[in-house]
């Protein structure tokens, strides 16, 4: 379940049934994890929120710095940025950046799948996200 920022991918069908009860940051993080089994963690709000899964990271360091996320977000290359022994890819939902940590580079198919899930989530709740 999505509980205390832990996303149990083995319970994904139950999490999806309760998606409407989660915050936007929780929900988008769930959708990113759902879209790609390479994703081991998701960070939101500049790293203030971090979502873990039962999937293990290759990163040896267990700490992070908000300046790292600022650099990732403003990098020209949004995907497959090196992050210790792992990688970070940046995805956007509205104006919020979400940082997906993964152990191996994402393929174009992986990236497309994540972008599709984020868009589908936005389409699920159109009244929450009025057109700009």
Residues 12-67 have pLDDT tens digits of: 999 999 988 889 999 999 999 999 999 999 999 988 899 999 999 999 987 778 89
Question: Tens of pLDDT along 110-122?
Answer: 999 999 999 988 8
Length of the chain: 132
- Domain limits at 36? 2-124
Confidence (pTM): 0.90
Q: Is residue 129 part of a domain?
A: no
Beta bridge partners of 52: 6, 41
Which residues fall within 8 angstroms of residue 88, CB to CB, at 6 or more apart? Answer: 72, 81, 82, 99, 100, 101, 102
pLDDT category at 126 given cuts 50, 70, 90 is: low
How many whole angstroms separate alpha carbon 44 and alpha carbon 26?
9
Closest C-alpha among 35, 49, 48, 45 to residue 102: 35
Q: Is residue 80 part of a domain?
A: yes
Question: Per the structure, how many domains does the chain have?
Answer: 1
Q: Is residue 131 part of a domain?
A: no
């Amino acid at each position: 379940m999505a509980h205390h920022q832990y996303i149990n991918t083995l319970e994904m069908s139950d999490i999806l049934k309760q998606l409407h009860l989660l915050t936007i940051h929780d929900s988008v993080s769930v959708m990113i994890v759902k879209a790609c089994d390479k994703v081991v963690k998701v960070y939101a709000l500049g790293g203030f929120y971090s979502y873990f899964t039962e999937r293990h990271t290759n990163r040896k360091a267990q700490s992070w710095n908000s300046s790292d996320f600022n650099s990732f977000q403003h990098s020209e290359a949004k995907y497959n940025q090196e992050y210790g022994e792992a990688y970070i890819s940046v995805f956007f939902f509205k104006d919020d950046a979400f940082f997906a940590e993964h152990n191996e580079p994402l393929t174009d198919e992986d990236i497309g799948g994540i972008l599709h899930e984020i868009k589908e989530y936005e389409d699920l709740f159109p009244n929450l996200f009025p057109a700009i």
